[in-house]
Amino acid sequence: MFKKILIANRGEIALRVIKTCKLMGISTVAIYSEADQKSLHVRLADEAYFVGGSRVKDSYLNIDKILEIAKESNAEAIHPGYGLLSENPDFARKCEQSGLVFIGPKPEVIAQMGSKIESRKMMEKAGIPIVPGITTSIENSSEAILAANEIGYPIMLKASAGGGGIGMQIAHNEEELIAAFEGNKKRAQDFFGNGEMYLEKYIESPRHIEIQVLADQQGNSVYLWERECSIQRRHQKVVEEAPSSFIDEETRWKMGETAMKAVKSLGYDNAGTIEFLVDKNKKFYFLEMNTRLQVEHPVTEEITGIDLVMEQIKIAYGESIAYSQKDIQRKGHAIEVRIYAEDPKTFFPSPGKITKLRIPEGSQIRHELGIEENSVVTPFYDPMIGKLIVTGANRTEAIENLQSALKNYEIEGIKTNITMLKEVIAHPAFRYGDTTTDFITKYIANKK
């Protein structure tokens, strides 16, 4: 097994990887920016190295410096976490060229799935159902109008290299499409260095349901059931749960088998997630594949008892998956909410010093936190500061446990989305399971 792993990330995900590495007896190397010198992940890792200035481009995206630190520290492998460089094929390739193991899939697979246009083409070729739309990039608004007229409104404008809702916008008519095109193209270019845009048919009030997969280098693969991630704000997930309260066992099996078909068509290895949109009739369509660990991975761990980070490390080391599909059981229900340092009314970031932090404890409560009391939340990074995960014997019990936990969750000094999360969880539609992607717009945001 690896003796030392460098974690090319920060915050709660860096701490999550450190936790599993300690269980496995693996030493950890943290990297930190100027703004993160006093962060928890720096203190809890076995070693920590300064990587650069506060801005991500000067630090956590500085590939050459990260590789230099890996060599200096004698790390054997790099875990990228999620976000930042986790789906950067150049980083994965340079790790390999430097004699380091990248804990993730092959660079060429990351590149293929990183382009939503290319991934649509590949999945269509493999016989995986995709959302109706186009599989070529749109150069200008005139081309977009022609394509939209062929697909039919409403349509979803998307950035091919996008993520986190960036570069996405719904258009109900030609005027809205023209207004949205140039701005989203520019945003995609600024954020991802790639302004390619394409169009999909917008599916009204869908569910966002994803299948967690694991595949080893020997060709074995399994799926660890589904997560429902339909409650989103600005196309970014806020509440995730497993299992889904919407799909039935037949649909669950079909989605799992479809995910396996996709994995095998790619020659994929390590952890990954096949994301689907599911309509009101339980018909599902491939949305995208995330070639990394997901923010919401804890809910899968809670219902299966499988440590996904440990599996990632074992697979990267060359070990085979130690169980078959029939061995993977589901137990109980788990719900995760993302805690953001943001104004719950505007969703604008709320940086500042955390003057008080009180978190609930209990056997059915799990925290993934990147902060502590007196931590400073800077404006340089994603405003997510942690996650609260609760479990229950069933969904009703999990909801009750989550309500109790949120009631006793206190953060002072900054604004957070906790009040909004309380509203979501308490809403009758959530309890009923009416958790479509327009939930916040439909039930929460418009009620302010």
pLDDT for 447 beyond 70: no
- Residue 413: per-residue pLDDT: 96
CATH code assigned at 327: 3.30.470.20
CATH code assigned at 194: 3.30.1490.20
CB 191 within 8 A of CB 198: no
Domain match, 67 and 20 both: yes
Residue 257 lies in a domain: yes
Domain match, 187 and 216 both: no
**DSSP for residue 54:** S
Q: Which residues contact 21 (CB under 8 A, 6 or more apart)?
A: 5, 27, 28, 313
Residue 51 lies in a domain: yes
Domain match, 443 and 384 both: yes
Kindly report the backbone phi and psi dihedral angles of residue 240, in degrees, each rounded to the nearest multiple of 5, phi listed first. Answer: -130, 145
Domain match, 295 and 406 both: yes
Domain match, 278 and 362 both: yes
Q: What is the average pLDDT score of the chain?
A: 94
Strands 284-290 and 365-369: unpaired
Domain match, 225 and 77 both: no
Which whole number is the average pLDDT over 90-97? 97
Which amino acid, one-letter code, is at 12? E
From 201, 229, 255, give the residue that closes a domain.
Answer: 201
From 173, 201, 229, give the residue that closes a domain.
Answer: 201
Q: Output 99 or 203, whichever has higher pLDDT.
A: 99
Residue carrying the six token digits 């990228």: 80
Residue 179 lies in a domain: yes
Domain match, 69 and 151 both: no
Residue 124 lies in a domain: no
Residue 67 lies in a domain: yes
User: What is the band of 116 on the pLDDT scale with cuts at 50, 70, 90?
Assistant: confident
- Residue 166: per-residue pLDDT: 81
From 84, 103, 122, give the residue that closes a domain.
Answer: 103
Residue 137 tokens read as: 């990039």
Residue 307 lies in a domain: yes
Strands 47-52 and 27-33: parallel
**In 29-42, which positions are buried (b, 16+ CB within 10 angstroms) versus exposed (e)?**
bbbbbebbeebbbb
Domain match, 37 and 15 both: yes
Distance CA 162, CA 193 (A): 10
Residue 126 lies in a domain: no
The SS3 of residue 80 is coil
Domain match, 213 and 164 both: no
Which whole number is the average pLDDT over 407-422? 96
Domain match, 95 and 150 both: no
CB 411 within 8 A of CB 417: no
Sign, Cα dihedral of 242, 245, 250, 255: negative
What is the number of domains present in the chain? 3
Closest CA to 84 of 67, 59, 119, 106: 59
Domain match, 95 and 188 both: no
Which whole number is the average pLDDT over 349-358? 95
Domain match, 180 and 216 both: no
Residue 108 lies in a domain: no
Residue 421 tokens read as: 């999360």
In angstroms and rounded to an integer, the radius of gyration of the C-alpha atoms of the chain is 21
Catalytic annotation, residues: 292
User: What is the band of 347 on the pLDDT scale with cuts at 50, 70, 90?
Assistant: confident
pLDDT for 151 beyond 80: yes
Residue 212 tokens read as: 């967690």
- Residue 114: per-residue pLDDT: 87
Which whole number is the average pLDDT over 42-56? 97
- Residue 245: per-residue pLDDT: 95
- Residue 189: per-residue pLDDT: 85
CATH code assigned at 46: 3.40.50.20
pLDDT for 258 beyond 70: yes
The H-or-E segment that residue 7 falls in is: strand 4-7
User: What is the band of 70 on the pLDDT scale with cuts at 50, 70, 90?
Assistant: very high
pLDDT for 444 beyond 70: yes
pLDDT for 448 beyond 60: no
- Domain range holding 37? 4-103
Residue 158 tokens read as: 């998307």
